[in-house]
Amino acid sequence: MTAEENYLQLPEWMEKTGCQEQVNSSPGRRANFLVKSIRRMKQNIADELMTESFAGRQGILQQLDARLKFVIVVLLVLAVGFVRSIPILLGVWLFTIILMRIARIPVLTMQKRIWGVIPLITLLISIPAMLNIFIDGKPLIMIYESTQQSVLAGIDIPASLYISQQGLTAGLRLCLRIGISLSLGVLLVMTTPAARLFKSMQVMGIPALMVMILEMSYRYLVLLLTLSIEMFEARQLRTVGNLSLSAKREQVGSSIAALFAKSMEMTDEIYLAMRARGYTGQAVYITSEIE
Amino acid sequence: MPQVLFAFDNVSFGYVPGQPVFNKLSFKIYSGETVALLGANGSGKSTLLKMMSGLIFPQQGIFKAYGQEINEQRMEDDAFSQKYHLKVGYIFQNSEVQLFTTRVWDEIAYGPLQMGFTTKVVKQRVEDVLEMLQLENLRDRSPHRLSGGEKKKVAIASVLVLNPEVLILDEPTSGLDPKTEKWLVELLLKLNLKGRTIIVSTHNLELAHVLTTRSLVLAESHELVCDGLTEEIVENHELLTAVNLIDEYSHIHGNIEHIHRYTHG
């Protein structure tokens, strides 16, 4: 048959439905990593939408000038970095919670997210720094005690090894500083529409080009996330069962490669689109829009 | 009597609480039908198609396919999910997202391999589909280097190779040239003649008219405002204007003012 005669000639197996020649059908239930990945990515998109929704509400903090909020938050973060008193740090944290309440942000949900990951991990990884080897002081939790000092692989091991009170205070201080800084950042982002936030950075003296890159990164991060969700969904439709570790690696690898290729193509097109509208390498902005 | 394939009973869904993508939808789709989902951008067409494909699930109400309720828990069952995805094929609006391998041949073979077909059957099916869609000369090409029309053909091939009973296509002709668009319509009509159920979302009234017999119209308020024969719906200008599928504009020739209808497509 010629190609012309073959045009839209259905193969025999496609002439009827229900004629499937599978040999391995997958029994059981799955904890498919594709489903989990999709769920997580969708949650990120929903969070992004939620942030914009809170930022657009009519609240006292939402109505404040974006530049003023940006300056206050930067100054507070710097101040938190210098403050050593834990009661004062706790006071600033309480202050951020009150502000969240005023801005009608769901305090409990946000606090769980803020403190649940980064500060907690910081606290865990700072445990070795709390030991008396680094910060000497009053013993709080004794780990090891001996009558004499020893040397192991050239390292002096003290006669006793413990978490000191001063060490624990330093660790808590670090954890509080990070958590409060994150709370302040969340407060700023959730009460200021993204466009105004980026413009206010420019007013603070951050170069226009850098602001433009940040703004584009934010925009395309969401776009690539949406693209990734659909890629994973397309794959989910044709994937069944628990994949082996190597198959998972292969899938993630090819997804990264495909997404990278697409983002590279998109980069060229975006640049051309910018050039087509007069971009010559100098980002030109007006700042009156944010007032 | 045709079998009920999909049954929506007061189904609501939204990505963000308080912002429904669609609200309390109730309708049925029968086997062998050709159905168009009509609606302006953002009316919830794609989300509805994803629900029929078993990718997302109702937040309220009940969605049944083949007489069984479809929910997240059920779709996590491998055996059920496998059968479902073999019966219901979904072609994304953006072909880019469906193409992720480095070779067209591998792309088409991906589905049947995952579904547990023998190597012999996979090879045979891939070759048949390549021949049917005249894609043989693209077999070793990288999918992301293809033209828009070629990408769409490969995306369709990657689903057709599984021989699904239902074909769901999201905006199938968007970005296609007239020749590829005609080819796609002919292919879908032929598959319908062979018993496949065809469901398309579109705001292209011409496509809906030539391809489908029944249309469901979604308003911008995310509600189902009409369910009827496509040939009657495409003539109902009042309805189509109300749901923002057609628009009117006027201009003057000589001294006479004309009013033209602008159709999205």
Residues A51 and A61 in one domain: no
Residues A223 and A126 in one domain: no
User: Does A99 fall in a domain?
Assistant: yes
For residue B19, give its domain range: 4-263
Q: What local confidence, expressed as pLDDT, does residue B262 receive? A: 57
CB nearest B116 (choices: A8, A25, A30): A25
Question: Is residue A139 over pLDDT 80?
Answer: yes
As a whole number of angstroms, the longest Cα–Cα distance in chain B is 71
**Residue B192 binned pLDDT confidence (cut-offs 50, 70, 90):** very high
Residues A220 and A178 in one domain: no
Chain B residues near residue A53 by CB distance under 8 angstroms: 16
Q: What local confidence, expressed as pLDDT, does residue A158 receive? A: 77
Comparing A249 with A100, the larger pLDDT belongs to A100
Phi, psi of B168 (to 5 degrees): -110, 125
For residue A66, give its domain range: 57-138+165-192
Phi-psi region of A192 (alpha: psi -120 to 50; beta: other; left: phi over 0): beta
The fraction of chain B above a pLDDT of 90, given in percent, is 41
Interface contact A26-B116, CB threshold 8 A: yes
Are the C-beta atoms of residues A209 and A279 closer than 8 Å to each other?
no
Q: What local confidence, expressed as pLDDT, does residue B258 receive? A: 62
CB nearest B82 (choices: A16, A19, A26): A26
Q: Count up the domains in chain B and report the number.
A: 1
The predicted complex's ipTM stands at 0.71
Question: Is residue A276 over pLDDT 60?
Answer: yes
User: Does A198 fall in a domain?
Assistant: yes
Question: Is residue A125 over pLDDT 70?
Answer: yes
Q: Count up the domains in chain A and report the number.
A: 2
Neighbours of B74 (CB within 10 A): 15
Residues A119 and A230 in one domain: no
User: Does A127 fall in a domain?
Assistant: yes
Q: What local confidence, expressed as pLDDT, does residue A290 receive? A: 45
Helices within A56-164 (DSSP H only): 60-63, 66-82, 86-102, 107-116, 118-125
Residues A110 and A218 in one domain: no
Number of A/B CB contacts below 8 angstroms equals 140
Residues A77 and A185 in one domain: yes
Chain A residues near residue B14 by CB distance under 8 angstroms: none
User: Does A287 fall in a domain?
Assistant: no
- pLDDT tens column, A151-175: 777 777 777 888 888 888 988 899 9
User: Does A245 fall in a domain?
Assistant: no
